[in-house]
Structure 1
Amino acid sequence: MRTFTLFLLILFCANSWGKTAVIDSILADSAIHLRVMLNEVLISSYKEKKNLGEIPASVSLLSIHNLNTNNIVDLKEISAYIPNLYFPDYGSKLTSPVYIRGIGSKINSPSVGLYVDGVPFFDKSVFDFDMNDVNRIEVLRGPQGTLYGRNTMGGIINVYTKNPLDYQGVNYRQLLGNYGQTQFSGSYYGKTSDKFGYSVSAKYKHNNGFFKNDYTGSDADDLNLVSGRAKLIWKSDCGLETNFFANYEYTDQGGYPYGLIDPETGKIGHVNYNDYSSYRQGVLTSGLTFDYDFEHFQVKSVTGYQNLDDRQAIDQDFTTASLYFVTQKQQQHQFSQEFEMRSKGNGRYSWLNGLFGFYQMSDRSVLVATTLKEYDEPNYGIAFYHQSTVKDLLIKNLSMTLGLRFDYEKAKQDYTSSKVADGQKTQVTHLNDGKNFTQVTPKLSLQYQFDPRNMIYATTTKGYKTGGFNTTFSADNERTFSPEYSWNYEVGNRFSVLNNRIYGDLALFYIDWKHQQISHPLATGKGSLLANAGKSYSKGVELTLNGRVTNALNLQLSYGYTEAKFRTYVNGDADYSGNYIPYVPNQTLMLGGDYTLNLNSRCIDRLCFSAQYTGTGKHYFNDDNSVKQGFYGVLNGKVSASKKFLTVDLWIKNATSREYMAFYLSSLGNNFAQKGKPLTFGTTISLTL
């Protein structure tokens, strides 16, 4: 309690100093206003109708300026710029886990939510999508279950694409780099009036792969991707706003560039297995949104649909012998519907009511030699939620927010195992079960708002993730896993000082975790399953700083520290209590900056230099903490030259060729790992007409 009180006192003093900052000099320069103040004028999320500086949570925003300056081209790359966010590269889009503050899931359903233009993505296989047409990304850390529901124990990532009412014209982008990296993308944004806008875009992406397979002599992880997107926005005179979007992305990639690890030196060997492994994925996502303004409240409806059709073919022994080749196919349909009603105005009391429902149907088949396993897994659920905020509680500028959500979910699994011979199936096993889950998730937060740019807050939130069924198991007691629960305690400060030349966020958090869902390999070495640990905890700190040193020079710092451990976790004869939770870096770091020269010469109007150093702290890859990757850093940079509608970029990533272990796994008694991506470089040409 003393530490908590002292921390709040320090934050109060810091904000009292920052409150005296004068911003007129910044607002007078519109160019600086767009670049430096962008974080404070954008709405934080479609759930919270507040400026970023007024959200009582640890929030990070990557604007379109940040995405372009830092050369972020896919969602996995944002993890280097967000404190305590870890989005590793595990060999293919099928395996795309996300971790925030130590909370994540390597297999099965994610523990971090993803929304694109208000539509939820439920399966982490679709998380690693291409970044075409993205306008901004917001990351809210800590449990967000009260407003967002299932699979948001770690936090939420909100992605927003460009609005054709705000952007008009033709954009063309072309990228060429080493390892055969090639990208072509084009888009058109138009509007017939201030009330109707439309956009269409398309993209092609290719690379030869970053790793060779010694056995086949060919590239192990080549990639081809095509995508297309359309968006319509219409605003009526009566207060109705309608948004519709549809996006399709097809990926065909080689994958799983895993090599044997030398047990004594830890050195990762070359990729060397006999069967080409691949992953193909087609994803169709669409959303329809209606907003209507009444006199005293607003109503919103969001309808979402997503179809995932994929195929994985993998040499799962990863050796030159023909031991264990697996083919998995999946067809998934997801429907979601959400209704919201919220108060209008800026009075002392504001409220939000919501109703959410979903239906998810997954058909999956796994073929191993002559054994065919088929899974029919329909899930559906419904939720009701409410949030109230009272301003000027007891004293001026003190606000309290209370939230409550009720979730009901039904999970089913129809499992059949058959032997396949001469084109005929013979059923061996058939199991059909269902499980019901209900949960209430409350939230309480207090915040003191010194001014629109300075505040302190304290938040207590319950996190929850439903249980379910494993798709690999060797005994009946391994078929299912139970829900996991957490209580998240957080205090934080959002501040702005020195005439807003320095602004940022500071947060401390502690997570008390029960029945954590942990993935571990089967005793046979053929696959992994989820089981529940007893108790765990995660605690740490997050800091972001943005500084405008001069009108031309901007600096950024992002730092996160996490200590995540098992309190009690016994798996068979093994006791992992006191060990670090796998896949959780103890530190994340980003140091970056950009410097802009306004030349206004015959050839170049503007020249921009940017560089970022991103660090990932020590983390373990297994429950017994016998395999780890120490701290490593990666240096990236870019030089951009602009003339009117033309921009030419020269960029480099992992400039020092830093080697590190990106992934580790154990299969059939052997230990394998994947190296991180090597040095890459190239050029990007952009046209905006």
Structure 2
Amino acid sequence: MFLGLLLSAMLVVEGPEVTPADTTTARSYKLDEVVVSAFKTNKYELVPASRSALSARQLSNQQITGLKELTAVIPNFYMPDYGSRASCPVFVRGVGNKSDGTGIGFYVDGMPFYEPLSFDCDLGDVASVEVLRGPQGTLYGRNAIGGIVNISTRNPLEYQNTRVRLGYGKYNDLRTQISNYTKVSDKFGFTFGALYHHNDGAFRNSYLNEKVDKMNETEERIGLYYKPSDNWLIRLNSHFSYSDQGGYPYAPVNVETNTLQDINYNRYSSFRRLISTNGLGITYNGPVVSFNSQTSFQYINSKQAIDQDFTVNDKSFVENARHQNMVSQEFTLKSNNDSRYQWVVGAFGMMEHVDRTVDNFSPSAGSLSHTNYCVPTSSLALYHQSTYNIWQGLSATAGIRFDYEHAKTNYDNLKVKASPLSDGGFTLVDPSQMSSATGESFESSKDFTQVTPKFTLQYLTTEDNLYYVSVTRGYKPGGFNKSFSTFDERSYEPEYSWNYEVGASINLLNNLLTLSADLFYIDWRHMQITSTITGVGNITTNAGHTDSKGAELNVIVRPVEGLQFTANYGYTYARFLSYVKSATVDYTNNRLPMVPNHTLSLDANYTINPTGWLDRVMFNVGLRGLGRIYWAEDNLVSQDFYTTLNAKVAFTKGIVTWEVWGKNLTDTNYMAYGFKSSTGNYAQAGKPLMFGTTIELNF
């Protein structure tokens, strides 16, 4: 474990700690310390974006330990509880994809993550999480058609602390964590952190009479920070994570009553994931220009075993192994002077190599489909963005990016006779008959090029009220399916969008009340959509013409010191304007799947510091609302709007903090994720009532 820690490398801090709070625009007010990966923003943050940011304290107060728990906390942000970490789809304003590839860019300290199975990470010891909604292709490029998620960690030269946490909760949920930030001298500092998490699982397979969703995971990280002078910072970071879990508590859905039946399938399913992430960052901040170099490497090794028919009949069991290497390099140069003209220019290059092996075993048919699938991908991008202060608080921004991507696939499939073993595995019936096996092999390649522009006009008043309008082009390249049933399904084409947005952020009553709101419309062409076919797998195809429109609202009220009320609401109406899937199937005018119509969060936080014998007391109550959500293109099964209630209380004395928390205190029954396959409709129930306690030491 610790050898892997020392040999892997982690995440890179991209800028100084600044202090935005939850806002809907790029303008923000000082509520709590938040670290934002802001190197690509100009000196005065003149380019607005629909943005929400949560600090480490806000994440802790709301007991947010994973990215999925940002659902509804961020307006129009939805990350369903997929069943395992095998895929972690993210949807923002209806834009996303539930399988291979994603429409949302994901960065940790400026380092890109392109594989969705790496998204679902622990948030227990990060400095902040920032979500930019809407296409961010001008500066961030690949797969940023729906938005960006930025996670930032702390710099030990600016923050020093040692923290130990021990938590225990329902379902034998055990979470231990230690972190250290040490400043050795004015020029050198290092960080270390480790986490272990165990959970017995909340859902039971009635056929096997065992828990479906057991979890064991560990994470370790180290970071070295060197500042040879006031203007330079060099960061070398390493992050290692491993998880071994059961998964897929999928139950059949009674379509007539829209209710879940028992989880009932015959083979235990699991997912194992190892990720080693490396980063080397070099930053120069000068009086005229600033420069950043970001070198990143990521290795992923995962194996999925899944009873793909989800019935007691032994029809289809799939083992999916993945080995992935990704290396990227980005250079960014930007202005850093007091001029009314600000600019950013950069270049980005990436090479990714994915090897996959898929064994699809059909015991009832006595057959095995063995597939080797290799996909090397390389990309190159150049980008520029300029902002000019036209008059007083009125400024304009224009950006442009050129992307080139080359993708290749080597596909080799073999179908042979096979028979099951007593341990649940399989063996070839007669290896000498391999010459009579059927299958197919092919090689193919595709090139994708695209230019994405951005235009923004904003006005900032002397009272720090912001008004803006923007037009942005979104783009996501095409690719190759690892599973398909026809020749046309071997690959899929790029998707494109135009995003139109108008918004405002208003500060009232001397910062006691902040209102931020925006309206958006997305015109979306050739949308990439994923369907599940039993015995085949997930297949991505292109829909016709779709659109998404909606609104977002953020309200922060601070009536007295220590008390804050926060409300976030998002509305999205996304539909197929034209989608004829076949001669007999037409989804035109249906709602897009996996897109909540409403997202709502209401939070009340009261902190008393100090109070009597205690140094600090914190109370937090949060309501989360979500729905309606359709699970498939046919719109037959959906989840109506529902709410869950969370709460937490924390008492601090000296270096000791004692926390008591609860999630879904109303024990609301709801579907957290659903899908349609050739054998029927299936869904996963949401997590039931959870509660626990944590002891934390800070010194």
TM-score, normalization by structure 1: 0.92
- The answer to whether the 8 Å contact 1:621/1:628 transfers is yes
Q: Tell me, what secondary structure is at the counterpart of 1:320? A: coil
Question: Which position in structure 1 is the counterpart of 2:365?
Answer: none
- The answer to whether the 8 Å contact 2:330/2:347 transfers is yes
Q: Does 1:248 align with 2:248?
A: no
- The answer to whether the 8 Å contact 2:40/2:332 transfers is no
- The answer to whether the 8 Å contact 2:255/2:637 transfers is no
Deviation of the 1:598 alpha carbon: 3.3
- The answer to whether the 8 Å contact 2:454/2:471 transfers is yes
**Counterparts of 1:569 and 1:688, CA distance in 2:** 56
One-letter code of the match for 2:511?
N
Q: Tell me, what secondary structure is at the counterpart of 2:262? A: strand
- The answer to whether the 8 Å contact 1:43/1:50 transfers is no
TM-score, normalization by structure 2: 0.91
- The answer to whether the 8 Å contact 1:379/1:411 transfers is yes
Q: Tell me, what secondary structure is at the counterpart of 1:72? A: coil
Question: Which position in structure 2 is the counterpart of 1:227?
Answer: 219
**Deviation sequence 1:297-351 (CA, Å, 0-9, x none):** 1221000111110000001111122111110000000111000111111211111
Deviation of the 1:46 alpha carbon: 2.5
Deviation of the 1:423 alpha carbon: 5.8
Alignment of 1:378-417 (within 5 A): 378-391=376-389, 393=390, 395-417=391-413
Question: Which position in structure 2 is the counterpart of 1:332?
Answer: 324
**Deviation sequence 1:229-278 (CA, Å, 0-9, x none):** 01111111262211111100000000000112223222211211111100
Deviation of the 1:626 alpha carbon: 1.0
Q: Tell me, what secondary structure is at the counterpart of 2:57? A: helix
- The answer to whether the 8 Å contact 1:39/1:61 transfers is no
Question: Which position in structure 2 is the counterpart of 1:508?
Answer: 519
Question: Which position in structure 2 is the counterpart of 1:24?
Answer: none
Question: Which position in structure 1 is the counterpart of 2:684?
Answer: 674
User: Residues 39, 143 of structure 1: CA spacing in aligned structure 2 closer, same or farther, 3 A cutoff?
Assistant: farther
Among 560, 564, 567, the alignment partner of 2:577 is 567
User: Residues 43, 280 of structure 1: CA spacing in aligned structure 2 closer, same or farther, 3 A cutoff?
Assistant: closer
Among 568, 576, 580, the alignment partner of 1:558 is 568
Computed over aligned residues only, the root mean square deviation of the Cα atoms, in angstroms, reads 1.8
Q: Does 1:308 align with 2:318?
A: no
**Counterparts of 1:288 and 1:583, CA distance in 2:** 36
Among 593, 597, 618, the alignment partner of 2:628 is 618
* Identical residues among aligned pairs (%): 44
Q: Does 1:345 align with 2:337?
A: yes
**Counterparts of 2:160 and 2:33, CA distance in 1:** 24
**Counterparts of 2:499 and 2:344, CA distance in 1:** 22
**Counterparts of 1:264 and 1:349, CA distance in 2:** 61
Q: Does 1:292 align with 2:284?
A: yes
Question: Which position in structure 1 is the counterpart of 2:655?
Answer: 645
**Counterparts of 1:155 and 1:169, CA distance in 2:** 33
Among 258, 272, 278, the alignment partner of 2:270 is 278
**Deviation sequence 1:39-63 (CA, Å, 0-9, x none):** 69855622114567x4411110101
**Counterparts of 1:256 and 1:324, CA distance in 2:** 15
Deviation of the 1:107 alpha carbon: 1.3
Q: Tell me, what secondary structure is at the counterpart of 1:236? A: strand
**Counterparts of 1:204 and 1:197, CA distance in 2:** 25
One-letter code of the match for 2:353?
M
- The answer to whether the 8 Å contact 2:35/2:127 transfers is no
Question: Which position in structure 2 is the counterpart of 1:377?
Answer: 375
One-letter code of the match for 1:585?
P
- The answer to whether the 8 Å contact 2:344/2:384 transfers is yes
Deviation of the 1:427 alpha carbon: 6.8
**Deviation sequence 1:621-677 (CA, Å, 0-9, x none):** 111111111000010000111111111110000000000011222344232211000
**Deviation sequence 1:131-162 (CA, Å, 0-9, x none):** 24200011100000000001000000000012
**Counterparts of 1:276 and 1:241, CA distance in 2:** 49
Among 114, 120, 126, the alignment partner of 1:128 is 120
Q: Does 1:586 align with 2:597?
A: yes
Q: Does 1:454 align with 2:465?
A: yes
- The answer to whether the 8 Å contact 1:407/1:439 transfers is yes
- The answer to whether the 8 Å contact 1:224/1:252 transfers is yes
Question: Which position in structure 2 is the counterpart of 1:661?
Answer: 671
- The answer to whether the 8 Å contact 1:44/1:51 transfers is no
**Counterparts of 1:43 and 1:596, CA distance in 2:** 24
Q: Does 1:631 align with 2:641?
A: yes
Question: Which position in structure 1 is the counterpart of 2:254?
Answer: 262
Q: Tell me, what secondary structure is at the counterpart of 1:80? A: coil
Q: Does 1:217 align with 2:217?
A: no
Q: How many residues align?
A: 651
**Counterparts of 2:86 and 2:597, CA distance in 1:** 25
Question: Which position in structure 1 is the counterpart of 2:484?
Answer: 473
Alignment of 1:59-74 (within 5 A): 59-74=51-66
User: Residues 555, 80 of structure 1: CA spacing in aligned structure 2 closer, same or farther, 3 A cutoff?
Assistant: same
- The answer to whether the 8 Å contact 2:87/2:99 transfers is yes
Q: Does 1:104 align with 2:96?
A: yes
- The answer to whether the 8 Å contact 2:547/2:575 transfers is yes
Deviation of the 1:428 alpha carbon: 2.6
**Counterparts of 1:43 and 1:414, CA distance in 2:** 40
**Deviation sequence 1:492-537 (CA, Å, 0-9, x none):** 1122110101114211111111111111234x66323111111111
- The answer to whether the 8 Å contact 2:297/2:327 transfers is yes
Deviation of the 1:130 alpha carbon: 1.3
Q: Tell me, what secondary structure is at the counterpart of 2:261? A: strand
Stretches of structure 1 that go unaligned for 5 or more consecutive residues are 1-34
Deviation of the 1:79 alpha carbon: 1.7
Question: Which position in structure 2 is the counterpart of 1:321?
Answer: 313
Q: Tell me, what secondary structure is at the counterpart of 1:574? A: coil
- The answer to whether the 8 Å contact 1:363/1:377 transfers is yes
Question: Which position in structure 2 is the counterpart of 1:58?
Answer: 50
**Counterparts of 2:131 and 2:677, CA distance in 1:** 35
Question: Which position in structure 2 is the counterpart of 1:29?
Answer: none
**Counterparts of 2:360 and 2:34, CA distance in 1:** 54
**Counterparts of 1:447 and 1:41, CA distance in 2:** 24
Q: Does 1:431 align with 2:442?
A: yes
- The answer to whether the 8 Å contact 1:43/1:49 transfers is no
- The answer to whether the 8 Å contact 1:45/1:158 transfers is no
Q: Tell me, what secondary structure is at the counterpart of 1:500? A: coil
- The answer to whether the 8 Å contact 1:183/1:204 transfers is yes
Question: Which position in structure 1 is the counterpart of 2:19?
Answer: none
- The answer to whether the 8 Å contact 2:496/2:527 transfers is yes
**Counterparts of 2:32 and 2:575, CA distance in 1:** 34
User: Residues 234, 318 of structure 1: CA spacing in aligned structure 2 closer, same or farther, 3 A cutoff?
Assistant: same
One-letter code of the match for 2:382?
F
User: Residues 294, 163 of structure 1: CA spacing in aligned structure 2 closer, same or farther, 3 A cutoff?
Assistant: closer
- The answer to whether the 8 Å contact 2:91/2:97 transfers is yes
User: Residues 138, 127 of structure 1: CA spacing in aligned structure 2 closer, same or farther, 3 A cutoff?
Assistant: same
**Deviation sequence 1:385-441 (CA, Å, 0-9, x none):** 0011111x1x32111111000000001110000135356765731110000000000
**Deviation sequence 1:475-494 (CA, Å, 0-9, x none):** 11111111110000111112
Question: Which position in structure 1 is the counterpart of 2:615?
Answer: 605
User: Residues 350, 36 of structure 1: CA spacing in aligned structure 2 closer, same or farther, 3 A cutoff?
Assistant: closer
Stretches of structure 2 that go unaligned for 5 or more consecutive residues are 1-27, 362-367, 417-427
Q: Tell me, what secondary structure is at the counterpart of 1:65? A: helix
- The answer to whether the 8 Å contact 1:184/1:203 transfers is yes
One-letter code of the match for 1:152?
A
Among 442, 448, 467, the alignment partner of 2:453 is 442
One-letter code of the match for 2:358?
V
- The answer to whether the 8 Å contact 1:526/1:668 transfers is no
**Deviation sequence 1:558-581 (CA, Å, 0-9, x none):** 000011111110000211111111
**Counterparts of 2:497 and 2:401, CA distance in 1:** 15
**Deviation sequence 1:208-234 (CA, Å, 0-9, x none):** 001011122111000000110011111
